[in-house]
Structure 1
Amino acid sequence: MNKTTCFHCGDPCESQHVTYQEKDFCCNGCKTVYEIFSENDLTCYYDLQQTPGATPQDIEGKYDFLEDKIIIEKLTEFNDGKHQIATLTIPHIHCSSCIWILENLNKLNPNITASKVNFGKKTVRITYKTEAFSLKEAVLLLSKIGYEPYISLEDFSTGKSKVNRSLIYKLGVAGFAFGNVMFLSFPEYFEVNEFWLEQYKTVFRWLMFTFSLPVVFYAAQDYFVSAYKGLKSKLLNIDIPIALGILVLFIRSTAEIVLNIGTGFFDSLTGLVFFLLLGKYFQQRTYNFLSFERDYKSYFPIAVTKIHKGEEKPIQVYDIKKGDRLLIRNEELIPVDGILINGNANIDYSFVTGESEAVKKASGDKLFAGGKQTSGSIEIEALNAVEQSYLTQLWSNDVFNKNKEDGFTTLTNTISKRFTITVLSIAIVATTFWLFVDATKALNVFTSVLIIACPCAIALSAPFTLGNLLRIFGRLKFYLKNASVIEQLAKIDTILFDKTGTITSNKKTKTTYRGSKLTPNEEILLTSTLRHSNHPLSRSLYKLLQQNNIESLDYFEEHLGEGIYGKTQNESIKIGSAKYVGQLQPETELSTAVHISTNNTYKGKFTFYNAYRKGISKLFNQLKTNYDLAILSGDNASELNNLKKLLPSKTKLIFNQKPNDKLEYIKHHQNNGANVLMIGDGLNDAGALAQSNVGIAISENINVFSPACDAILDASKFNQLYHYIKASKAAIKIIKWSFVFSFFYNAIGLYFAITGQLMPVIAAILMPLSSISIVIFTTIATNILGQKLK
């Protein structure tokens, strides 16, 4: 029997079926939108594409905050009191009909003078008259016709701050002051005695002093603040020598004009700050252009199961829309704020707060993104879309980095710790020498040494190299938590693999059943219990049995490494190892098997015949030369002979490992000095992934998001693992070569500075040039590295 669909949005017309002008609508909202279009002669909207609309939601009072003048100021791009321009994000934009109606908003309300759609960004830029219209009314109008905007004040504020206008202002002030001070210094440069009369000397010198004040106390304040915070924390950071150089120049120059013994070094001072800020501005623009973090975040591969018209399908979390019904399985994270529809919710918010005590929730309660469901599966209705920044912030939470960061020092920190002390020592020794030899050169030498030896090149080489490689890895479906993972990956010497779902492919696994036939009720109970679990074997078996009906469980429990338990009022079921389900008669397993018992009666087993991932033999042969390799499997030894044929002879094969056994195995090797890389799934291997120096979770279009792992590798790229590790080692070599170049630059520059042949302003010009050269070198080198990976 054919279902009637809504003329406006295409959804099935069921309980609220409305008929108007011989057309069917699923609700009064869609009928109202059609009436608006009919009254304004816009029904050709439906000619461009069938059912292009969206059902308008109940928004009464939702946008009252748009009456606040401060909020309106943040959301509008232009506001002269008569007209306002605002760019709004419209998630529903998806076809030519959407573009047409949104660019004809002026026909719906004459106070809207223009509207322009950016289809790629899903935004509409609206210009309207403020005398008889407002931003709130514009949003309400869009919502009434099914194009409700997505408004996040945080997104708007962070979006506008991407360009650091403060730096631009400071650069402008320093440049203006530098130009004027240079102009005022010309008479003395050229020794124009006819012009440089006694009555003008004092005026010009105090003018130069005046121009230097905003440079020192405004334009250069970031260096002083950073230096102060470093000293307060008992750390010698790279801004201390710079701040010291600026301060010495200013005090010496001020003393000279106050005591009327000279002109000072205001030209060098203002020039120094100007060129320092110019270098910083270049770094910022280059960093934003390469967009390291933004790029890798946009490829973040966490997925979730969406329920639509009774069907379950995995989708990227960034495709989640408000109102979507989502299935959250046991041990899965909630990716968006939502309302609990059904299921026994027991939410662990430790990923967000660090507090591990789970919180029970009832149907209708609000659940927050970042919570982990710990007692079976639940269904929620999404209240909003996913924020990328929130998920990546959650993944990088310091709560989950403490163990691995302890005792690990980055390459940059290793060098930078001693750099500042060395530079200060050289500056003091050189200055002391010139005080006795030629006191007039002492100040220039001191300042030039501090500036020319600024470790900016050292500070830049690691972020640009590792950041660019993060972006390249992301495009190749290898997603790292942060840049330090690359450094740790380059140091590993031992690689451990889980078997099921890691070196085997769940999608290609074949399954057979042997045992007593299950009754229809037992099949339903089996499917319903499997639905709650996120284990790779549970997911594979559930997919096979998904056509069965689903019923709610009264109780669910999962024992990692053993099995799962489900119970209704009349029946109970155990699914897992033979020992867990109570199989007393041992038998030789031919392959990986999942056993089943109902009401404490053994029924049979599902046998999985493993299909190993493409290229696994080649991968292990590539790794065997430089790394100790081992397979840690929770399964029995049935695959021992197959793995011996498939893998190199030196590969250790260890079976019947529980999650804690894997963790202890890793800890034992670490205590013996090994740097361990663990590769497994994001659930059963969470402890091992967290204990290892680097933990990589394999993703096969499932929700593997876990703070326990340091990286997520798309299953299709598993055979490229050797090349990713090799690239990490190459990145460290690039950084070291950058340090070598920086060392030679500093050595040459220091020679001229110590010998008194280098003015501070020339040193300030050379410093950003050295930074530019380092950025160009690292970017080109990592891009070449990326081309080799492809």
Structure 2
Amino acid sequence: MDAKNCFHCGNEMVDNEAIYFDEKEFCCNGCKTVYEIFSQNDLTCYYDFENAPGVTPQDIIGKYDFLDDEKISSKLLDFQEANTSIVSLYIPHIHCSSCIWILENLQKLQEGITTSQVNFPEKKVRITFNTSLTSLKEITYLLSSIGYEPYISLENFDSGKKNVDRSLIYKLGVAFFCFGNIMLLSFPEYFEVEEYWINQYRGFFRWLIFALSLPSFLYSASDYYVSAYKSLKSKLLNIDIPIALGIIVMFVRSTIDIVFNFGQGFFDSLTGLVFFMLLGKLFQQKTYNFLSFERDYKSYFPIAITKLNADGSEAPIQIYDIEKGDRLLIRNQELLPVDGVLISEKAAIDYSFVTGEAVPIEKKSGDKVFAGGKLNGKNIEIEVLYTVSQSYLTQLWSNDVFQKKIEQKHKTITDQVSRYFTSILLVFAFSVFVFWLFIDVTTAFNVLTAILIVACPCALALTAPFTLGNVLRIMGKQKMYLKNAVVIEQLAKVDTVVFDKTGTITTNKKTSITYEGNTLKQEEIGLLKNTLRGSNHPLSRRLYDFLPQVEKVVPSHFEEIIGKGIEATFNNQIVKLGSSDYLEHISENTHKKTKVHIAINGIYKGSFIFNNQYRKGLEELFESLSKSYSLTILSGDNDGERKILEKMLPENTQFIFNQKPEQKLQYIENLQKEGKYVMMVGDGLNDAGALAQSNVGISISENVNVFSPACDGIMDASEFSNIHYYLQYAKSAMRTIYMSFGLSLLYNLIGLSFAVSGNLSPLVAAIIMPLSSITIVSFVTVMSNYYARKNRKMAL
């Protein structure tokens, strides 16, 4: 009987086993059902990505009934609030682009699923769904029915997601065993020993060498064949094609040598080639994992939260020092960094960072609140349930909703170079091969194999990710935390830098505050202090620290209007503070200064005047930046300090005051229309729109947990004077990439010159290839560290 393949999963079947539907053949009812589901939902283009991409569904009836138990299912959820839940499921069957496509279109297959995102390296899918329309159990059965059954184990759920793929280690071990033994058996051939017993057993040794080469050829090198096959099938040329071709050519040639007794062949070179290439791949994998570890677990956001001590005092604490059982004070617009239990009477939590829905959810005392929510309204107290999950905050920061549509140029360069390099290499290799055929057939095969191996653009492909990954790590250690590697390239392009004033070029820690107006009673000071307690605005924090300690009182109503002011109610007493426009008070502008005006129960009391303390190194920073960048101060305050700033800062600095948040955004947009590449530096509160609009948005952090997902980087306020250093270091990083591109090409040209002349054996080529990768990685590491030290010294 003729064997045929299932249209869905590709498994072999015989005629009498086939199930026919829609003029297609399937191996079982499960595969037919999956195809029917895709057909009914107009998703049959799933099969356009790859022939037979699916997997056979398993019989799972009743297997996941335990998910009906809310106590069990809630343990698996990342987030659960109102009708919105989020779950991350580990799916071992994810293996290709069609898997990603179908798993990111689950909303078309089942009502209630809002979004689904695939993390391909970790084989995970993160699903947001409406619990009133579907359930975790239904989603699990859906995934299983289309061939993507998730791995769910309550005891080993985390370990299941972190399964380590050791296949590369196994393949490397097999390759080393084959290579070592073949080298040992080849010694008589190397030394041309002509002893009688050796001549008698030479044929046996050669066939034993052939047998030992098979595991290395068929198993250890299999990834290269699969990658090359998929690349050709997709009508693309990747860097594994010349490698696979070189290995096959060497094996065929060596087999012919043994069969026709021409010699021992090149099985030693073949197995050595596979071993050294896998060694290079392992080195690459380990280095990538190291960079990933540095990024995920050491580049903590430099944001802090307020911890309430047992004696009632408040103290800032870094988020990764939070422990279970701690009590935290959360202010208006602050992000909840951990899961906790609400202690305060009630709260309004905005989970738009997590779910995309901007409708605040009302919570009452005793309710659970989730990390990632943002408080709207008066300050609250929570008790910590779990320590902070840094990877979870990173996931929020990197949410696609807040990503800017930017061209990833370094990836484009690498891809284009690799693609053209491979096609040119294949043409060149076969041209030289044909040339040598007319001179020496043996040399021709050696030359072909050496060219295909030595000219592999692996090192070329490693250049950008390793350089930018190392720069990310170094910047993180220096308290500049960038969202991803692409931001480094964007920093290198910046030609215009825009600064906010309050909380950005001014410091929250040092200031001189004076009061002007009617004398405030002790009771009024208490109302004012407790109103300010719930705000994160830089002026509010300064004034709060300036006022004396009072008894803590929670307002019955609290509202903060960004860019205007605050209103709070205490036992029918209304406190308003903010700009003169917000209080509808016309002040004398003979001396324009930064002021916070106060009104209690509709009666204007006076204003607090801020004599701003500018950040250390401000004048030197602007002086160095002015030589290469256009500079602007863009502020929501009045222009009372214009003259001071004009004296302090370079002449070419622009000053624009009295700007509302939407006007700041519009100004950035106008600069971009003029062809400017803009970096915005702000405090992340009033500047969220401008930070999002700019090409690069950097948020300054100074013990304030104002989380701005739209920004591209978070910088510790202590590093403010080093902004020019970061910009120069980004340019140096791009310079390092171009230099390493040149070094990689030089490696290839030198190797090719020896290979073409027939003076480079395939084995030596196999050793040179991973060495080139190691050299490139070492070069970019040394250069990025060198530029870090050099630019840092210049900045100091």
Query: Structures share a fold, TM > 0.5?
Result: yes
Distance 1:227 1:345, change over 3 A: farther
Moved more, 622-631 or 436-445: 436-445
The amino acid that maps onto 1:570 is N
Change (3 A) 1:197 1:472: same
Which whole-Å deviations, capped at 9, do the CAs of 1:78-99 have from their partners, x for residues lacking one?
xxxxxxxxxxxxxxxxxxxxxx
Structure 1: 5+ residue runs without aligned partners?
Answer: 1-60, 66-150
How far 1:734 moved relative to its partner?
A: 2.0
Q: What is the aligned counterpart of 1:399 among 398, 401, 423? A: 401
Q: How far has the Cα of 1:501 moved from its partner?
A: 0.7
Q: Counterparts of 1:722 and 1:421 in 2: how far apart (Å)?
A: 37
TM-score under structure 1 normalisation?
0.74
Q: Which residue of 1 aligns with 2:324?
A: 322
- Specify whether residues 281 and 599 from structure 1 end up closer, same or farther in structure 2 by C-alpha distance, changes over 3 A only: same
Name whichever of 617-626 and 776-785 sits farther off. 776-785
Q: Does 1:273 align with 2:290?
A: no
Change in Cα spacing, 1:515 to 1:239, as seen in structure 2 (3 Å) is farther
Aligned pairs (5 A) from 1:711-722? 711-722=713-724
Alpha-carbon deviation of 1:659? 1.5
Structure 1 395/257 Cα, relative in aligned 2: closer, same or farther at 3 Å?
farther
SS in 1 for 2:509: coil
Q: 1 CA distance for matches of 2:231 and 2:365? A: 50
Q: Compute the displacement of 1:245 (Å).
A: 3.5
1:236 is displaced (CA, Å) by: 4.7
**Matches of residues 518-667 of structure 1 in structure 2 within 5 Å?**
518-545=520-547, 547-584=549-586, 587-667=589-669
2:472 is matched with which residue? Answer: 470
5+ residue gaps in structure 2?
A: 1-70, 76-153
CA contact (8 A) 2:684 2:707 kept: yes
For the structure 1 residues 468 and 415, does the alpha-carbon distance in structure 2 shift closer, same or farther, using more than 3 Å as the test? closer
Q: Deviations over 1:449-494 (max 9, x none)?
A: 2321222322333333333333332333222223322222111111
Aligned partners of 1:776 and 1:604: how far apart in 2? 63
- Offset at 1:614? 1.3
The range that moved more, 508-517 or 581-590, is 581-590
In the other structure, the counterpart of 1:496 is: 498
Partner Cα distance (1:384, 1:248) in 2:
58
Using the TM superposition, give the Cα deviation of residue 207 of structure 1 relative to its aligned residue in structure 2, in angstroms: 3.9
Alignment of 1:652-691 (within 5 A): 652-691=654-693
Greater alpha carbon shift after TM alignment, 418-427 vs 642-651 = 418-427
For structure 1, which segment, 622-631 or 425-434, has the greater mean C-alpha deviation from structure 2 after superposition?
425-434
Q: CA deviation at 1:159?
A: 8.9
- Partner SS, residue 467 of structure 2: helix
Report the CA distance shift for 1:694/1:742 in structure 2 as closer, same or farther (over 3 A).
Answer: same
Q: Within the alignment, does 1:782 sit opposite 2:784 as a pair?
A: yes
**Distance 1:585-1:501 versus aligned 2 partners, 3 A rule:** closer
**Structure-2 separation of matches of 1:527 and 1:247:** 78
| Paired residue type of 1:409 | K
Pair 447,729 (structure 1): closer, same or farther in 2 beyond 3 Å: same
Query: What do you get for the CA RMSD once the two structures are aligned?
Result: 3.3
Q: What is the TM-score normalised by the length of structure 2? A: 0.73
**SS at the partner of 1:688?**
helix
The residue that corresponds to 1:109 in the other structure is none
Between stretches 715-724 and 458-467, larger displacement belongs to: 458-467
CA distance 1:425–1:459, shift in 2 (3 Å): closer
The residue matched to 1:505 in structure 2 has which SS? strand
Q: Which residue of 2 aligns with 1:176?
A: 177
Q: Within 2, Cα distance between the matches of 1:593 and 1:228?
A: 69
Tell me, what secondary structure is at the counterpart of 1:173?
Answer: helix
Distance (whole Å) between structure 1 residues aligned to residue 558 and residue 661 of structure 2? 20
Q: Which residue of 1 aligns with 2:31?
A: none
The separation in 2 between residues aligned to 1:334 and 1:633, in whole angstroms, is 28
Return the alpha-carbon distance in structure 2 between the equivalents of residues 452 and 238 of structure 1. Answer: 12
2:655 aligned counterpart, secondary structure: strand
Change in 2 beyond 3 A, CA 1:545/1:492:
same
Residues 158 and 300 (structure 1), Cα distance of their counterparts in 2 relative to 1, 3 Å cut: farther
* Pairs within 5 Å for 1:59-70: none
For the structure 1 residues 657 and 519, does the alpha-carbon distance in structure 2 shift closer, same or farther, using more than 3 Å as the test?
Answer: same
Partner of 1:740: 742
Kindly provide the CA deviation profile for residues 136-169 of structure 1, in whole angstroms up to 9, marking residues without a partner as x: xxxxxxxxxxxxxxx99788789995xx754433
Letter in 1 for 2:369: L
Summarize deviations over 1:698-730 as a string: whole Å, max 9, x none. 122222433222222222221122122222222
Residue 278 of structure 2: SS of its match in structure 1? Answer: helix
In 2: Cα distance, 1:264 partner to 1:764 partner: 16
The percent identity for this pair of structures is: 58
- Alignment length (residue pairs): 637
Aligned-partner residue type, residue 419 of structure 2: T
Is the partner of 1:581 in helix, strand or coil?
A: coil
In structure 2, relative to structure 1, the CA distance for the partners of 1:228 and 1:393 (3 Å cut) is farther
Alpha carbons 2:408, 2:486 under 8 Å: kept: no
Q: Deviations over 1:717-757 (max 9, x none)?
A: 21122122222222222222222211111111122223443
8 Å Cα contact 2:333-2:706 kept in structure 1 = no
Tell me the CA shift for residue 357 of structure 1. Answer: 4.1
Provide the C-alpha distance between the structure 2 equivalents of 1:216 and 1:671, rounded to a whole number of angstroms.
Answer: 57
Distance 1:668 1:444 in 2: 61
Structure 1 position 233, deviation (Å)? 7.2
Q: Amino acid of the residue matched to residue 183 of structure 2?
A: M
Partner of 2:508: 506
Q: Partner amino acid for 2:318?
A: Q
SS in 2 for 1:709: coil
Q: Give the drift of 1:408.
A: 3.5
Instruction: Quote the offset at 1:498 in angstroms.
Output: 0.5
